[in-house]
Amino acid sequence: MSIKVAIQGVKGSFHEEAAYKYFGDEIETVECESFKKTCELLKQGKVDYVVMAIENSIAGSLLPNYNLLRDYRFPIVGEVYLHIKLHLMALPGVALADIKHVQSHPIALQQCSDYLEENPHLKVTEAEDTAASAQRVNELQLRDTAAIAPQLAAKLYGLEIIERRIETNKKNYTRFLILTDKPEEKTKVNKASISFQTGNGVGSLSTVLQCFAEQRINLSKIQSMPVLGKRNEYDFYVDVEWENQADYDTAIRRVLKHTSNFNIMGEYVKNDKV
């Protein structure tokens, strides 16, 4: 039986591409209309893993997903990066001059802002995800509408690419997390995602970060989210990387003394190849 992986969006979306990149082609992807739905399916045991976008190099962090990580507390067992390449696609035989409307995911539209500004006659509509817009163009046989989506979506929904690589910044990357509720023991981990709170006092966060620096632990990301109902209090989410496991263990022991609600959300193998 193949591994089931919940993705936000429909087949052909970047989430599906990320799932294939991490697990290989032999998996079964399960389409979900929201990130919350992906977590619900994992909670109900209907899937084995969730693939969840957490940050894009242009649009920044997907903040609501930090709340899902906090609420569901599924261990993070891996990560995968994708180079986001966006194409304008339409039904076969449709020419650029025939197109009056463009649909895509809001983040993808934002990533193509220069192209859309250069083509002000194109009326823009937001869709649930990139691939869903390609699917709609096909299902409704829209001859005046193009989708902005990945190549995989063009193939799946029988569309032709009219303009390639229309994203404004070609260095466009999204990081995805891999979540499961049945983590396996990994022997050679070198990265962790951690959350904690500190008091609202002089130097309280810097004391924590100093514990990592002193042990030569590299901080690759830090994100704060307000603690619900508590003014000026924050949950801090940090990603750290290390070469020597003992350095990491020492740093964690020290950090524990200066934090509350400390949680190791996951320890995994760094995988930042694109």
Ligand X SMILES: O=C(O)C(=O)C[C@]1(C(=O)O)C=C[C@@H](O)C=C1
Q: Does residue number 175 form part of the binding site for ligand X (CB under 6 A)? A: no
Task: Label residue 194 exposed, middle or buried (CB < 10 Å: 0-12, 13-18, 19+).
Answer: buried
**Residue 264's closest CA among 192, 183, 175, 210?**
192
Do the beta carbons of residue 53 and residue 15 sit within 8 Å?
yes
Site for ligand X in 99-118 (CB under 6 A): 105, 107-108
Work out which of 174, 193, 197, 215 binds ligand X, going by CB under 6 A.
174
Applying the rule CB under 6 A, the residues between 33 and 72 that interact with ligand X are 53, 56
Return the H-helix or E-strand segment holding 158: none
At closest approach, how far in Å is the CB of 131 from ligand X? 5
* Interface residue with ligand X, options 131, 154, 251, 252 (CB under 6 A): 131
Near ligand X by CB under 6 A: residue from 5, 6, 9, 30 = 9
Instruction: Give the separation between CA 99 and CA 137, rounded to whole angstroms.
Output: 12
Under rule CB under 6 A, residue 84 binds ligand X: yes
Residue 17 beta carbon to ligand X: minimum distance, rounded to whole angstroms: 8
Does residue number 178 form part of the binding site for ligand X (CB under 6 A)? no
CA distance 15 to 18: 5
Rounded distance between C-alpha atoms, residue 103 and residue 116, angstroms: 11
Footprint on this chain of ligand X (rule: CB under 6 A): 9, 13-15, 53, 56, 84, 105, 107-108, 129-131, 174
